[in-house]
Amino acid sequence: MKNTARLKAEVKTEDEKIDWLRLIRTEHVGPVTFYQLMARFGSAEKALEALPDLSRRGGRAKALIAPTRSEVEREYEALSKAGGHLITVSCAPYPLALSAIDDAPPVLSVLGDLSLLNRSCVGIVGARNASLNGRKFAEKLACDLGQRGQVIASGLARGIDTAAHQGSLETGTIAVVAGGIDVIYPDENTKLYEDVAVRGAVVAESPFGQKPFAQSFPRRNRIVSGLSKGVAIVEATMRSGSLITARLAGEQGRDVYAVPGSPLDPRAAGPNHLIREGATLIRGADDVMEALLNFSGNALREPLFASTGYDFQAHSIENPDDSARETVLACLSFSPINIDELIRACHLTVSVVQTVLLELELAGRVRRLPGNRVSLVSGDAER
């Protein structure tokens, strides 16, 4: 559920940034939970104070505690020493397009040119084991779009991503990495990473020094699509992560473009499928630019927050009793359920259900999934 709180004052002090970082680095606190905590308590400082009590009410035996200030300061100092910037969703340089998605990262680490983050952007993604023709097409597409004023976003993976960055180095490229901003993956793209950090921008949501793991890549993909007005898929199998990016782009209200290919090539199966499902068939930059001219931009007109900065206002929220918690738990299972459906099934107010889910998530008993869905955690986390 999108947070519609209006904000008035930009995060101005280093102390505030440290508090934001402590909150988002806390176990079980994802972007959606972060915004709910901020809406409820009005500041990261007050939300941090409330975490132990909320997690206990959710059924956690050992109270949830945020990382210490010194731990987070070490990360902040390491990023600064590497020449990076820490920007929050309340800072003016934060990409406006990305702030429009429901689970926009509250905090981003950035190396390079911050001005690229708020320019018109197109994502280009595709197969890691791309064909030579696929790589050549992606590089030319990126180059041609760059010459038409578009910044290119991709994920720094081998194959199509690499070609897209190479084609747009001169005109503007953004590499979104799955791990910490200092972790280069794959190793073979070390030189490309260094070039992008100097001539473009490298963006990361994960903590400094963290190696990527399986769940990091879909999270990375949502940022690539969230930065972009549209995403082009160049070669992808039906089980490719690029199709996840295409799905996320559609859910975010972005255009999806696909490059058709031979039915005999498994790498064409993904784009061909997307075209059958309604994606825009493209043959080059002209087709993308034509689609962008018709882009409604509705998904970008209501950003999560204004780009000029703001201050969360605390809201009075109903506190659930034990019977409400039992009702919500009885309606949950290991199979994902849409939160709107859950609210209807529980016959409780939206505020009560959302508060119970917040408590359960902080206790490690439920997880939030894309598409406004939740499920119980298999085996239940330590409580």
Amino acid sitting at position 102: D
Q: Residue 28 in 3-state DSSP?
A: coil
Those residues whose C-beta lies under 8 Å from the C-beta of residue 213, and which sit 6 or more positions away, are none
Looking at per-residue pLDDT, the higher value among 294 and 220 belongs to 220
Q: From CA 144, how far away is CA 67, in angstroms rounded?
A: 45
Nearest alpha-carbon partner for 79 in 201, 211, 181:
181
pLDDT > 90? residue 305: no
- Strands of the sheet containing 366-369, edge to edge, are 337-338, 373-376, 366-369
Fold of 113-300: Rossmann fold (3.40.50)
Q: From CA 24, how far away is CA 197, in angstroms rounded?
A: 25
Longest dimension (CA), the chain: 61
Q: Using one digit for the tens of pLDDT, what is the confidence trace for 318-362?
A: 678 899 999 999 999 999 999 999 999 999 999 999 999 999 999
Enclosing H/E stretch for 339: helix 339-346
Nearest alpha-carbon partner for 67 in 25, 16, 17:
25
The per-residue pLDDT of the chain, averaged, comes to 90
CATH architecture of 322-376: Orthogonal Bundle (1.10)
Entry pTM: 0.89
The residues that bridge with 126 in the sheet, in sequence order, are 234
Domain 113-300 matches domain 322-376 at the CATH topology level: no
Q: CA angle, corner 27, sides to 346 and 321, nearest 5? A: 30
Q: From CA 373, how far away is CA 368, in angstroms rounded?
A: 6
Q: With contact defined as beta carbons under 8 Å apart, do 67 and 374 qualify? A: no
> Other C-beta atoms within 10 Å of 314: how many?
14
Q: Residue 315 in 3-state DSSP?
A: coil
Q: Residue 374 in 3-state DSSP?
A: strand
Q: Using one digit for the tens of pLDDT, what is the confidence trace for 239-277?
A: 999 999 999 999 999 999 999 999 999 999 999 999 999
Q: Using one digit for the tens of pLDDT, what is the confidence trace for 179-206?
A: 999 999 999 999 999 999 999 999 999 9
Nearest alpha-carbon partner for 179 in 223, 117, 228, 245:
223
Confidence of residue 8 (pLDDT cuts 50, 70, 90): very low
Alpha carbon separation from 317 to 58, 256, 302, 342 (Å, rounded): 16, 39, 24, 19
pLDDT > 80? residue 5: no
Backbone angles phi, psi at 201, to 5 degrees: -145, 140
Domain spans in the chain, listed from the N-terminal domain onward:
14-97, 113-300, 322-376
